[in-house]
Amino acid sequence: MAEDLLQELIKETRRLTLDEQLQLMKQLEQIVRSHDKTDSSQRLWGEIQHQREQILALATKQGASNVRVFDVGVRHDTSPAGEVNLLVNLEPGKSLLALAGLMVDLQELLGCDVYVTEEGGLKGEHRERVLQEAVLL
């Protein structure tokens, strides 16, 4: 059935001008990219849930707590595997080195780009959006 539909679509596109065919190709490319992005985000979110205990253990080791996830998705300009953004609270006395260590550990665990931000480092409208969107791990 899908093959019949595809054959019919091919017949119809032959009736289009070259410009119309190019425009159609661009639209189809956008649809495919959007679909790939959604699938990748869902796979990445599943991996985060699967590795939840390990993620929390690594966070605790680095002095981070209240681990939250936001902006899980794909960014083709960074990593084809996706990108994870985490929001954490650091224990008093911990520095940016703890965040960097956690970031490296999590990149190795998840096999994708991971960015870790301390809640206190968020400012303005960005802060409000992230705090509303962030999901406790």
Residue ranges of the domains in the chain? 39-136
**3-class DSSP assignment, residue 91:** coil
**3-class DSSP assignment, residue 111:** coil
> Looking at the predicted structure, is the pLDDT value of residue 36 above 70?
no
- 134: phi > 0 → left, psi -120 to 50 → alpha, else beta; which? beta
User: What pLDDT, in 10s, does the model give residues 107-120?
Assistant: 999 998 999 999 98
**3-class DSSP assignment, residue 121:** helix
Structurally, at CATH architecture level, domain 39-136 sits in 2-Layer Sandwich (3.30)
pTM: 0.66
